[in-house]
Homo-oligomer: A and B are copies of this chain.
């Protein structure tokens, strides 16, 4: 990517991040990480999520585009959260998803991209990789823990209490593991890049 083009893209990305911060649309937990990365001249963060649990309604199997969020949580959840959110469900499958963090980093230097990748993997984000190899490099920081489970249909849950409790326990475990990795990544980024 031509240098000027890259820095224009970085400027644009930083502005939209600033806007997201002002609108309270950013995940607090990963802001220190985003700040460290955006302070590296040849890098900027494009999109990111600190990890979350979501309740989705998917009208037809496989049709993720038509999916609707019934609930979204960036923290520990309780059984009542799921029950309350599922009251909004109408038609289709209800899925619970526990998602680990994802951070995308645009980078203008293959050596820095490689060092970021190694730092991410060493912090526990073992599924990280480079998504593009010419013109613009994208470092994708991500992990493997996840839960993707259908738990109801047409407005009602078909999990019993014990099953639901277990799914919530696992979602919370994934959230806590994500938080730990995020803090490790921050420590390692400070060591390698600040």
A residues lining the B interface (CB < 8 Å): 61-62, 93, 110-111, 113-114, 117, 129-134, 140, 145-150, 153, 158-160, 162-163, 166-167, 169-170, 173, 177
Residue in B closest to A150 when the chains form the complex, CB atoms: B166
Choose among B131, B140, B163 the residue that contacts A159 (Cβ–Cβ < 8 A).
B163
15 interchain pairs (CB within 8 A)?
Answer: A62-B145, A93-B166, A111-B134, A114-B133, A114-B134, A129-B140, A130-B131, A133-B133, A146-B148, A147-B148, A147-B150, A148-B148, A149-B149, A150-B163, A150-B170
Cα–Cα distance between A150 and B170 once the two chains are bound (Å): 9
Most buried by B among A117, A148, A153: A148
Q: How close is A119's CB to chain B, nearest CB, in angstroms?
A: 13
A177 and B133: CB pair below 8 A?
no
Main secondary structure of the interface of A (DSSP, over half): mixed
Please indicate the chain B residues that have their CB under 8 angstroms from the CB of A159 in the complex: 163
B149 and A62: CB pair below 8 A?
no
Known contacts A133-B110, A150-B149; A162/B158 CB under 8 A = yes
Cα–Cα distance between A153 and B162 once the two chains are bound (Å): 10
Choose among B129, B150, B160, B177 the residue that contacts A129 (Cβ–Cβ < 8 A).
B129
B134 and A133: CB pair below 8 A?
no
A62 and B160: CB pair below 8 A?
no
Please indicate the chain B residues that have their CB under 8 angstroms from the CB of A140 in the complex: 129
Q: How close is A171's CB to chain B, nearest CB, in angstroms?
A: 11
Please indicate the chain B residues that have their CB under 8 angstroms from the CB of A146 in the complex: 146, 148
Q: How close is A181's CB to chain B, nearest CB, in angstroms?
A: 13
Please indicate the chain B residues that have their CB under 8 angstroms from the CB of A150 in the complex: 147, 149, 163, 166-167, 170
